[in-house]
Structure 1
Amino acid sequence: MTLTTEDGVKLWAERTGEGDPVILCHGGPGLWDTFDDVARLLADRGAAVHRWDQRGCGRSERRGPYSVARSVADLDAVRKHFGLETVTLLGHSWGARLALHYALAHPARVTRLVYVSGTGIGPDSGWYPEFVGNLRAAIGDRLPRWEELKALERRTEAEEREMCVLQWSADFAGPDRERAQRLAERMATPWYGVNHECNAEINAETRTMSEHQLHAACGGLRMPVVIVDGEQDIRPRDAVDSLAQALPDVSRVTLAGAGHMPWAESPAEFAAAVAPR
């Protein structure tokens, strides 16, 4: 189904399951919802799961403007569309940051925040260089092809997809890189194309945000927050420490043998950590 925001942009959204309402916020920025497995896990455990593609992404209309505030407003449009007074928010990667900003803007509407594989509230410079090194190591013997594709001034859609699959394969843990490649291929199917404009504009904005101000704001949140990390995520998990320290009601679950998509590699443990209470 589609819904229309107050500025006229059409967003794709759907609901599955019955029970306590959960809205899922996918990563990116500029990507799309790949939460099929998460939706099934939560619906099987008594949740009404609400999924959506963010503005300009996936099945939603490819039109800006793109900003954190606009993303928060779009998330609230999803909540209103489904008639939800209060919700649990589950955000993954950039979506974890979006869910956190929504909770800061509308704390009375969030009963629980599930922060999965986020990168904290500190500057990118604190974690990004280590991430790049880990990424290159995890791509392994396919690194030359990834570098070749990344260096192209213009890529075809097929080349863009190939580059993303190679990069996303690094987000899965363990020595079996063929399995990681298959899981990344699944993420890229169907392929909707990365919105690089959305990615660039939102990332540029988040880089200007003050860690001190965010730390102070997070100290005022009263809903329970669970932070879920994959032990083998190539993004350093200590980047999330300052966020965990700022939150007054927080628990943290680290899943062994899991990377950036922990539900793919530790599904039972992930479900136990994030399922409705």
Structure 2
Amino acid sequence: MQSGMLEVNGTKLWHLMNGQGLPVVLLHGGPGSYDYMEPVAEMLTRDYQVIRYDQRGSFRSAKKGPYHTAIMIKDLEQLRMSLGIERWVVCGHSWGAFLALAYTACYEERVEALIYMSGTGIDPDWHQDYRVNRLKLMQAADREEYTYLRSTVEQLSGKEQENALNRIRYLSAGTDLFYPERRHLLPKTESPYLNAEVNASVNSDTANWMVKNDFRLQVRKIRVPSLFVHGAADPRPAGYAARLSQLLSNSRMKVLPQAGHYPWIDQPALLCQTLRDFLNNYNLEKS
């Protein structure tokens, strides 16, 4: 096992590398969150070399901007170079799925395969459908509290605003599981586990990327084997990821029943089998 800080692209990134075999890099979501994908790594390290890291500005990595999509992509590429890896599988979750897609579009020659987990596609309209679904999934009391906090949080400041934002994230995260009794297994959403500056800046920049014609053309040219995985109960509608999957010529989509946004919490055995089946067999299907 190798872990610690690496000088990458003018900043320091915390990373951990474990296992042997085909390299697989795991990209956490947020943006501005932290490496919460240890359960996924544990599914793979027996047969694969798994790389995890905290992205720029996140938790154990240096809090050094700028924070935008292009620099996150460059960080990932320079991390690959620093680790001496020629080609790897990129596996991203939530916003990390977008990072995996964008990295593949820019550096496809360095990508063995793409795994896009619980992503939201490249149609900005997903936001509205997600908001509607999220509210529907909340209990009445939580929905009332969430709506009130969202309407008042901008009027607050300092610690009071931070507490309100943490409560909003907590209530929102409760809709992300099919089995709510497993809520204690969810990634942490409060400071220092979430960098709000990174989250706001990169989310805004990602929205701009989604509507760029040149980026959409790059995505259509992706030829590496690609697996799209989505929970059937994720409030972020699977249809947006499915439409993105259809743009790629060598892609398949797997919707997991009774799973929400974090399929390794709701359906760990099924997710493990899905990932391993893809990684064990994708070489036979490379175009």
Out of 9, 12, 20, the position equivalent to 1:10 is: 12
Cα deviation 1:72-102 (Å, max 9, x = unaligned): 0111122122211100010001101101111
How many Å apart are 1:242 and its aligned residue?
A: 3.0
Cα deviation 1:186-225 (Å, max 9, x = unaligned): x218962422222222222222233643332222212100
CA contact 2:90–2:111 (8 Å) conserved in 1: yes
Equivalent-residue separation in structure 2 for 1:109 and 1:238 (angstroms)? 28
Which stretch shifts more, 149-158 or 128-137? 149-158
CA contact 1:170–1:180 (8 Å) conserved in 2: no
Equivalent-residue separation in structure 2 for 1:201 and 1:189 (angstroms)? 17
The answer on 1:42 being equivalent to 2:44 is yes
Q: Which amino acid aligns with 1:229?
A: H
CA contact 2:87–2:110 (8 Å) conserved in 1: yes
Q: Describe the shift of the 1:63–1:69 C-alpha distance in structure 2 as closer, same or farther (beyond 3 A).
A: same
Aligned length: 268
CA contact 1:161–1:193 (8 Å) conserved in 2: no
1:36-75 mapped onto 2 (5 Å cutoff): 36-44=38-46, 46-75=47-76
Q: Helix, strand or coil for the counterpart of 2:138?
A: helix
Equivalent-residue separation in structure 2 for 1:241 and 1:103 (angstroms)? 18
1:109-128 mapped onto 2 (5 Å cutoff): 109-122=110-123, 124=124, 126-128=125-127
Show the counterpart of 2:95: 94
TM-score, L = length of structure 1: 0.89
Q: Which amino acid aligns with 1:94?
A: W
Instruction: Work out the percentage of aligned pairs sharing the same amino acid.
Output: 32
Out of 164, 172, 177, the position equivalent to 1:167 is: 172
1:148-159 mapped onto 2 (5 Å cutoff): 148-150=148-150, 151-152=152-153, 153-154=156-157, 156=159
Q: Describe the shift of the 1:194–1:147 C-alpha distance in structure 2 as closer, same or farther (beyond 3 A).
A: farther
Equivalent-residue separation in structure 1 for 2:55 and 2:94 (angstroms)? 14
Q: Describe the shift of the 1:158–1:15 C-alpha distance in structure 2 as closer, same or farther (beyond 3 A).
A: farther
How many Å apart are 1:61 and its aligned residue?
A: 1.1
Which stretch shifts more, 141-150 or 54-63? 141-150
CA contact 1:161–1:188 (8 Å) conserved in 2: no
Q: Describe the shift of the 1:37–1:212 C-alpha distance in structure 2 as closer, same or farther (beyond 3 A).
A: same
Q: Helix, strand or coil for the counterpart of 1:27?
A: coil
TM-score, L = length of structure 2: 0.86
CA contact 1:119–1:240 (8 Å) conserved in 2: yes
Q: Which amino acid aligns with 1:181?
A: R
How many Å apart are 1:155 and its aligned residue?
A: 5.7
Show the counterpart of 2:260: 259
Cα deviation 1:147-193 (Å, max 9, x = unaligned): 4544332363655444322221211114xx3x143233xx2189624
Q: Helix, strand or coil for the counterpart of 1:208?
A: helix
How many Å apart are 1:27 and its aligned residue?
A: 0.5
Q: Which amino acid aligns with 1:203?
A: N
Q: Which amino acid aligns with 1:114?
A: I
Contiguous gaps of at least 5 residues in structure 1: none
The answer on 1:199 being equivalent to 2:199 is yes
Show the counterpart of 2:132: 133
CA contact 2:166–2:189 (8 Å) conserved in 1: no
The answer on 1:274 being equivalent to 2:275 is yes
Q: Which amino acid aligns with 1:2?
A: M
Q: Helix, strand or coil for the counterpart of 1:214?
A: helix
Equivalent-residue separation in structure 2 for 1:236 and 1:207 (angstroms)? 17
RMSD value, Cα: 2.0
How many Å apart are 1:235 and its aligned residue?
A: 0.6
Show the counterpart of 2:22: 20
CA contact 1:169–1:180 (8 Å) conserved in 2: no
How many Å apart are 1:15 and its aligned residue?
A: 1.0
Equivalent-residue separation in structure 2 for 1:131 and 1:248 (angstroms)? 27
Q: Helix, strand or coil for the counterpart of 1:264?
A: helix
